[in-house]
């Protein structure tokens, strides 16, 4: 089996709190204007945190041609995946049946159809078992997401979901990358989607005291990674999808290439269900392994898209991890946290980071970390505060740190790198 093939990223699709489409996502990131508002999907009155990064104007019934009995994450994923395929100039209606057998779907989500599950349980407790929909189980579990995508596009290759908390979509993209690089397949639809803006999920995070509560009256200021006044993350949602294909196939069909996925690394602290170790040792090792996997030296990384949740512990741990991995070089690498602008989409975080990195490479522009006002002595790196900057980017790193003390990193390389 052929080894170490180049893996091209040829299509990007986005559904984010800025709206539908990668263009409005990129415009919002460039401007550095947060898309975080008071929660409107339900009444947040009485919750410790009342703000979130919601996707606006999502009409799932229209996207799904009248199918209403599906979780919110499905229309998000389909819209983003559809845009990614169109962006890559792949018309699925024109594919031969034999070609559809070659396409894999490998996606990441943390909660899957949790909103649908909560609705069904609420109906059960109010009205009894006759209220439960026959597809209540299949619509609720994370694995249904790749199934719905495979059904929608007619792709009959492997259909997999990675559900590893915050690292879910980073791991999904990493596995898709490895599958193509090893020669197992030529094309994969991959990415991540999350729609966990629910009463139950928010209640749980409020009980953990990890969500922002001090900025309910000024939502746009609530997500502030690495700022000394941060007080927790802001719940977010959205979908970020990509077409990955072998360089040979992309070149053969004359595809536009945004960048190459060139390295992947993953580790586990093996420490705690929700906490990371303070030293960031295993997160640092994931970064180092991803860079090594890309065949690069650490000093060749020009930018890091940070996990940057805006919690005191996570931001300090990630800062420590970067210092462990890059040593003195860490002070010279520009970094930024996309979550400052759109919130924390849980299992879709990694895909959001990859979209940011791919668009940054294509535009030679680093997006900012919003709401950075008061420096924290424990977080003293270059977080690109408040204003983006033009620069030369060749190789960039996308970072994730998740529940279960999981860590994952991806390296993306520019076309001319």
Active site members:
166, 307, 344
Backbone angles phi and psi of 254, in degrees to 5: 70, 35
CA distances from 78 to 86, 155, 228, 297, 410 (A): 12, 13, 38, 37, 24
Buried b / exposed e over 83-98, threshold 16 CB at 10 Å, is bbbebbebebeebeee
End-to-end CA distance of the chain: 26
327: alpha, beta or left? (left if phi > 0; alpha if psi -120 to 50): left
Distance CA(200)–CA(338), nearest Å, equals 25
Pick from 301, 292, 308: nearest CA to 391: 301
User: How far is 46 from 43, CA to CA, in rounded Å?
Assistant: 9
1-6 long-range contacts, CB within 8 A, separation 24+: 1/182, 1/183, 1/184, 2/182, 2/183, 3/181, 3/182, 3/183, 4/181, 5/180, 5/181, 5/182, 5/183, 5/246, 5/247, 5/248, 6/181, 6/246, 6/247, 6/260, 6/262
Residue 114 near residue 200 (C-beta atoms within 8 A) = yes
Taking the C-alpha atoms of residue 276 and residue 311, their distance in angstroms, rounded to an integer, is: 12
């Amino acid at each position: 089996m052929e080894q170490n093939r180049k893996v091209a990223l040829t299509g990007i699709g986005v559904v984010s709190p800025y709206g539908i489409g990668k263009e409005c996502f990129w415009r919002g990131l460039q401007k550095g204007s947060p898309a975080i508002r008071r929660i409107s999907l339900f009444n947040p009155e009485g919750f410790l945190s009342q703000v979130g990064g919601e996707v606006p104007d999502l009409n799932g019934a229209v996207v799904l041609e009248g199918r209403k009995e599906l979780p919110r994450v499905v229309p998000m994923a389909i819209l983003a995946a559809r845009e990614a395929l169109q962006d890559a100039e792949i018309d699925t209606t024109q594919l031969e049946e034999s070609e559809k057998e070659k396409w894999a779907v490998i996606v990441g989500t943390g909660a899957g159809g949790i909103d649908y599950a909560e609705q069904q349980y609420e109906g059960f407790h109010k009205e009894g078992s006759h209220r439960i929909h026959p597809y209540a189980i299949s619509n609720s579990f994370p694995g249904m997401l790749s199934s719905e995508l495979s059904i929608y596009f007619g792709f009959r290759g492997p259909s997999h979901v990675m559900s590893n908390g915050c690292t879910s979509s980073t791991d999904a993209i990493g596995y898709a990358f490895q599958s193509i690089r090893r020669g197992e397949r030529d094309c994969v639809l991959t990415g991540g989607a999350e729609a966990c803006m629910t009463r139950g999920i928010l209640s749980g995070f409020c009980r953990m005291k990890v969500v922002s509560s001090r900025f309910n009256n000024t939502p746009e200021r609530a997500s502030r990674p690495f700022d000394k006044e941060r007080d927790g993350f802001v719940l977010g949602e959205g979908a970020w999808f990509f077409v990955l294909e072998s360089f040979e196939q992309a070149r053969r069909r004359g595809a536009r290439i945004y960048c190459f996925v060139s390295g992947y690394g993953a580790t586990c602290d093996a420490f705690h269900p929700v906490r990371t170790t303070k030293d960031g040792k295993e997160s640092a090792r994931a970064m180092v392994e991803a860079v090594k996997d890309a065949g690069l030296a650490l000093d060749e990384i020009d930018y890091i898209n940070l996990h940057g949740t805006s919690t005191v512990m996570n931001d300090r741990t990630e800062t420590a991890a970067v210092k462990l991995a890059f040593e003195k070089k860490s002070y010279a690498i520009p970094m930024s946290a996309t979550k400052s602008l759109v919130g924390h989409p849980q299992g879709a975080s990694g895909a959001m980071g990859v979209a940011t990195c791919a668009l940054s490479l294509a535009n030679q522009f680093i997006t900012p970390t919003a709401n950075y006002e008061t420096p924290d002595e424990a977080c003293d790196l270059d977080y690109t505060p408040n204003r983006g900057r033009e620069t030369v980017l060749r190789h960039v790193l996308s970072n994730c740190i998740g529940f279960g003390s999981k860590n994952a990193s991806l390296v993306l390389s520019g076309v001319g790198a």
